[in-house]
Amino acid sequence: MSHPLQRYLHANGSTTSSRSSGAPYALVTGSTGGMGEEWAYQLAGLGFNVIIQGRNRSKLEVVKKEILSRPASKGVDVKLLVTEATIWPNEPLTQGLTALMNDSSVRLTIVVNNLGINSVSYPRFETETREDVASIIIANSMFPAEVTRLTLGKLKQHQPSLLVTITSMAWTNPPPYLSPYCGTKGFDVSFSRSLYNEMWAEKQKVDVVCMAPGQVVSGMHEGEPGIMVPTSEAWVRAAITSLRSTWWTPRPAPFIYPWGPQRWSQAIADWLPSSFSSWIAIQMALSLREKYWKKMGIDGVQS
């Protein structure tokens, strides 16, 4: 039976690429934890070779070992891209990715711009350091832009192909104490939407999709899973399913909330007066900040 990403596996002979040159590659950024690690496992499980990016080689080796140990992904090729994400200019990224893109055996058909970082302490904006603010902007905006700039040529060469960029539900109703993060997530949405239109204008079969998670259990958001807070494994499974094409939607939508309950809550929020939406965002941020303070033993009155 075909799976939701069959179109990008080029296994039905309907593409310009040759099957005999091996399975296509998928690149996932931030793949040593959370949703990125899940993207790597699930894409490899669907038959893609994978390029996994992370800043820590030994963590990447652990993910590679796990991929190769799973029966569903037996025999896939796993390449490592080791680079920090918060430096600019990012020579290890540019050089590493350029070398991979110049390798004619790497038939890239999927890129997942997953990596994103946040300040978990919910600081007042004026107390943040210049370095903290810059790190978030570089990792969440400049890093995916550079990854895309370096890979888009390959995605155009091996059509149909897919470019996913992960934003956040925090983009539409930005909580307080997260302004650099929310700003970059707005960048991700417009960046992705403009590229979607660019591919359409140029009649390219590069499907460009921006996906918005709400809270998902991961390194960024620890805690118990629930109906509104899926595990990373469940969220990525829903994300991949949401990319399935049908006869009435031959290409994925440009913007998707993959997790059903979060999608429905967003639909309700869209109908609420903005003052009420702001109140909800404030309450959520205050409660998460208090949890963080408790965990770190910080006295909230003095902070």
Ligand X SMILES: NC(=O)c1ccc[n+]([C@@H]2O[C@H](COP(=O)([O-])OP(=O)(O)OC[C@H]3O[C@@H](n4cnc5c(N)ncnc54)[C@H](OP(=O)(O)O)[C@@H]3O)[C@@H](O)[C@H]2O)c1
Burial profile 130-163: b = 16 or more Cβ within 10 angstroms, e = fewer: eeeebbbbbbbbbbbbbbbebbbebbeebbbbbb
Q: Which stretch binds ligand X (CB under 6 A): 30-38, 103-111, 156-164, 272-280?
A: 30-38
| 234/225 Cα distance (integer angstroms) | 10
148 lines the binding site for ligand X (CB under 6 A): no
85 binds ligand X (CB under 6 A): yes
Interacting residue with ligand X among 96, 213, 252, 258 (CB under 6 A): 213
Q: Site for ligand X (CB under 6 A): which residue of 136, 150, 163, 166? A: 166
The interface with ligand X within residues 41-60 (CB under 6 A) comprises 54-56, 59
β-partners of residue 26 are 50, 110
Ordered DSSP codes for 190-209: HHHHHHHHHHHHTT--EEEE
Phi, psi (deg, nearest 5) at residue 233: -60, -45
Among 116, 175, 180, 252, binds ligand X (CB under 6 A): 116
x/- track of binding to ligand X for residues 255-294 (CB under 6 A): ----------------------------------------
Contact yes or no for 109/8 (Cβ under 8 A): yes
Residue placing its CB nearer to ligand X in the complex, 37 or 207: 37
156 three-class SS: helix
CB nearer to ligand X: give 25 or 143.
143
Residue selected from 30, 47, 230, 252 as contacting ligand X according to rule CB under 6 A: 30
- Give least dist CB 172 to ligand X, A: 11
Is the CA virtual torsion 14, 16, 18, 23 positive or negative?
A: negative
- Contact residues for ligand X, defined by CB under 6 A: 30-36, 54-56, 59, 84-86, 114-117, 139, 166, 168, 213, 215-216, 218-221, 232
